[in-house]
Amino acid sequence: METATEAAGSAAAASATTPARVALVGVHGFGTHHLRNLQRLQAAGSVSLVAVADPQPPAPGALPPSAAIYQGLEELLTATRDLDLVIVATPIQTHAPLALAALATDAELYLEKPPVASLADFNRLCTAAARSGHGVQIGFQSLGSHALGAIEELLAAGTIGTLEGISATGRWVRDRAYYTRSRWAGKRSINGVDVVDGVATNPLAHAVATALRIAGARTTADLASVETELYRANDIESDDTSVIRIRTASGLPITCALTICAAESVEPYVTLQGSAGTAVFHYTEDRLTVETAAGRTEETFGRDDLAENLLAHRGHGVPLTSSLADSGAFMLVLEAIRTAPPPAPIDPACVRWEGEGDAAHAVVVGIEEALERAGRQHATFSEIGLPWAVAAPVAFDIPAS
Task: Specify the residue, 159 or 309, whose C-beta has the smaller distance to ligand NAD.
Answer: 309
Least distance (Å) from ligand NAD to the CB of residue 140?
A: 7
Upper half-sphere CA count for residue 281 (Cβ side, 13 Å) = 31
Q: Is 89 in the site for ligand NAD (CB under 6 A)?
A: yes
Q: Please state the separation of Cα 76 from the chain's center in Å.
A: 26
Residue nearest ligand NAD by beta-carbon distance: 29
By rule CB under 6 A, what string of x and - marks binding of each residue 98-137 to ligand NAD? --------------xx------------------------
Q: Is 321 in the site for ligand NAD (CB under 6 A)?
A: no
Task: Specify the residue, 53 or 217, whose C-beta has the smaller distance to ligand NAD.
Answer: 53
DSSP state of 178: H
Task: Specify the residue, 114 or 135, whose C-beta has the smaller distance to ligand NAD.
Answer: 114
CA 275, CA 8: separation in Å to the nearest integer? 52
CA 119, CA 23: separation in Å to the nearest integer? 27
Q: What are phi and psi of 79, to 5 degrees?
A: -95, -10
Compute how many other C-beta atoms are within 10 angstroms of the C-beta atom of residue 200: 30
CA-closest candidate to residue 249, choices 216, 273, 279: 216
Q: Is 28 in the site for ligand NAD (CB under 6 A)?
A: yes
Task: Specify the residue, 110 or 381, whose C-beta has the smaller distance to ligand NAD.
Answer: 110
Q: Is the CB of residue 136 less than 8 Å from the CB of residue 109?
A: yes
| Alpha carbon separation from 275 to 7, 53, 157, 161, 255 (Å, rounded) | 56, 51, 13, 5, 17
Largest Cα–Cα distance in the chain?
82
Q: Is 317 in the site for ligand NAD (CB under 6 A)?
A: no
CA 64, CA 42: separation in Å to the nearest integer? 9
Q: Is 228 in the site for ligand NAD (CB under 6 A)?
A: no
Judged by CB under 6 A, which of 23, 24, 86, 92 binds ligand NAD?
A: 92
Q: Is 182 in the site for ligand NAD (CB under 6 A)?
A: yes
Can you name the residues that pair with 282 across neighbouring β-strands? 287
Judged by CB under 6 A, which of 21, 42, 77, 91 binds ligand NAD?
A: 91
Judged by CB under 6 A, which of 19, 64, 72, 345 binds ligand NAD?
A: 72
Size, binding site for ligand NAD by CB under 6 A:
24
Stretch that binds ligand NAD, among 91-99, 120-128, 266-274, 315-323 (CB under 6 A): 91-99
Burial of 327 (0-12, 13-18, 19+ CB in 10 A): buried
Task: Specify the residue, 202 or 220, whose C-beta has the smaller distance to ligand NAD.
Answer: 202
| Alpha carbon separation from 190 to 31, 201, 217, 305 (Å, rounded) | 22, 16, 31, 33
Q: Is 139 in the site for ligand NAD (CB under 6 A)?
A: yes
Judged by CB under 6 A, which of 10, 15, 18, 56 binds ligand NAD?
A: 56
Task: Specify the residue, 97 or 161, whose C-beta has the smaller distance to ligand NAD.
Answer: 97
Three-state SS at 285: coil
Least distance (Å) from ligand NAD to the CB of residue 177?
A: 12
Q: Is 30 in the site for ligand NAD (CB under 6 A)?
A: yes
Q: Give every CB contact of residue 92 below 8 A, 6+ residues apart in sequence.
A: 114, 116, 117, 184, 195, 196, 197, 201, 202
Task: Specify the residue, 42 or 90, whose C-beta has the smaller distance to ligand NAD.
Answer: 90
Q: Is 25 in the site for ligand NAD (CB under 6 A)?
A: yes
CA 51, CA 113: separation in Å to the nearest integer? 22
By rule CB under 6 A, what string of x and - marks binding of each residue 198-217 to ligand NAD? ----x---------------
CA dihedral 384, 389, 390, 393 (to 10 degrees): -60
- Judged by the rule CB under 6 A, the positions of this chain that interact with ligand NAD are 25-31, 53-56, 72-73, 89-92, 94, 112-113, 139, 141, 182, 202
